[in-house]
Amino acid sequence: MKTRTTIAITAILAVFSAALNTTSAQPASPADISEVTLNNGLHVIVKQAHSWPLVAVGVVVRAGSLYEGDFAPGTARYVAHLLVDSERGANRSLRDVMADKLGAIVQASTFKDSVTVTLTAHKQVIPEALPLLAEGLFGASFDDTQMARARLELRQILRDSEADAVAMISHMLWKMAYGEHPYTNPASGTLESIEQVSSDDVTRFYKRFYVPNNAAIIAVGDVDPQEFFQQVRATFGDYVARDIHWQAPRVSPTQTKPRIQSERYQASLALVGIAWRAPGVADWRDVCALDLIYTLLRPGPGSLLGAKLQPGGEAGSIAINWDVEFVTHKQPGLFQVLVVPTPGHELQARQAVLEVISSLREQPVSAGQLAAAKQELYAEYCFDNESYDEQVATMAFYEAIDSYKRALTYIDQINAVTPQRLQLAAQKYLAPGAYNLAILRPQANHAAEARLP
């Protein structure tokens, strides 16, 4: 599924469960969407929605960490920060110019597959915003002073987040599963990687990937499609298409045995991560099945993992907390289970996760369990697509890895998953001998570690 922030979905279900029906309309309908591709290859997508006099416009560029194979890790984030958040021009960032001049809210995100810049503003200022957006993203140039300033800013941002244990263990798992593949580069970069990015890396990466034929513009809101197409042609149409000369990196052979790694970190509790290599967007039916497995396992009422990790609630549990992560990527990705074991119960927590995964392989879940997971996923999908900018983000996410149309058929594909199909996906991807185990431990305990491989 698309990347998202964990929300208290159970509260929503408590209110809306009677009204929700997974066979009802999609959050976005193809009838509301128009599209055109300009002569320079820029794909333009418009979804009409007239609830408010607002428009969200997103530019998605296929320039995430997947494309860093010929560049230093962190280059994608460096370029995106320069374009949107760092001072340029008259010592003002694109974000500040849009806010001060037009009252537009600008959001920028760097993912493993893409960079997305979204602005939300009153519909009347969109004709004035588009030239600024076009020039800011496709007509930029950087001098040494601007690049040095951006490096200082990124250092501070990354220092503030360097103690993120979840990011640390996720990075370990990606490296264990995929070796030198660019997906192992954190999309946000690291303090070490940012120092490796040269001015030449920044310039070459920008000129290579920030071209119209490697991007798309998506607009959602109170907008006339034909007028918007004309405005985009006038502001983006003169930028020249160029071949980006990119080939998808090779994915290492299928993993056939467990890989285990442990490190120490500054904390009072251990953190355990168990991950399996997962399908990319090309295996769409399997992606949808893994999304439902993700939903069945994550915290909440009825969680299959909760029944093992906290069988009697928090009292007497073998885990303080846990989470599950699976984000759809252009190429094969990672299905991760992260657990904070109760002190002294690391081995039991690890075993509990593997037992639950084994049960998914060995027998189908019940029809009732699957129906509840589908309803929960549907509720979350609707909740995550309430606003115009969220709808832009969803369509941009799928446009970067395949096509925005995935967003329009997602719920139908989820509904098509049967218990047997879910079991087959578990057997195919969550194999008993193909997991990666990463452990962050707070202090040395050689006697205990001798018993904890």
Average pLDDT over residues 64-89: 92
Q: 86, 150 in Cβ contact below 8 A? A: yes
Indicate the CATH number for domain 259-450: 3.30.830.10
d(CA 341, CA 297): 16
pLDDT for position 20:
37
d(CA 395, CA 409): 11
Average pLDDT over residues 72-94: 87
* 433: confidence class by pLDDT, cuts 50, 70, 90: confident
Q: Tell me which of 19-28, 60-69, 212-221, 298-307 is least confident.
A: 19-28
| Percentage with pLDDT > 90 across the chain | 78
When comparing pLDDT for 285 and 10, which is higher? 285
* Alpha carbons within 13 A on the beta-carbon side of 69: 14
pLDDT at 305 over 60: yes
The pLDDT mean for the chain works out to 90
pLDDT for position 313:
66
Unique residue bearing structure tokens 């193909």: 434
Domain definitions of the chain by residue range: 26-236, 259-450
pLDDT for position 14:
33
Average pLDDT over residues 221-237: 97
Model confidence pLDDT, tens digit, residues 262-282? 999 888 999 999 999 999 999
pLDDT at 302 over 50: yes
Of 404, 408, 363, which is closest to residue 381 (Cα–Cα)? 408
pLDDT for position 179:
94
Of 124, 130, 98, 108, which is closest to residue 221 (Cα–Cα)? 124
Average pLDDT over residues 423-442: 96
Average pLDDT over residues 168-195: 93
Are domains 26-236 and 259-450 of this chain identical in fold?
yes
Residue 432's SS3 state is coil
d(CA 182, CA 112): 8
* 1: confidence class by pLDDT, cuts 50, 70, 90: low
Model confidence pLDDT, tens digit, residues 5-14? 333 333 333 3
Q: Which helix (H) or strand (E) holds 215?
A: strand 215-221
pLDDT for position 106:
94
Burial 302-321 (b: 16+ CB within 10 A, else e): ebbbbebbbeeeeeebbbbb
* 161: confidence class by pLDDT, cuts 50, 70, 90: confident
pLDDT at 89 over 80: no
pLDDT at 321 over 60: yes
pLDDT at 211 over 70: yes
pLDDT for position 6:
37
Average pLDDT over residues 322-343: 97
pLDDT at 72 over 80: yes
d(CA 131, CA 134): 5
pLDDT for position 378:
94
d(CA 59, CA 43): 10
Q: Tell me which of 161-170, 312-321, 338-347, 392-401 is least confident.
A: 312-321
pLDDT at 75 over 60: yes
Pick the CATH number of 26-236 from 3.10.20.70, 3.30.360.10, 3.40.50.300, 3.30.830.10: 3.30.830.10
pLDDT for position 24:
38
**What is the 8-class DSSP label of residue 32?**
G
pLDDT for position 92:
82
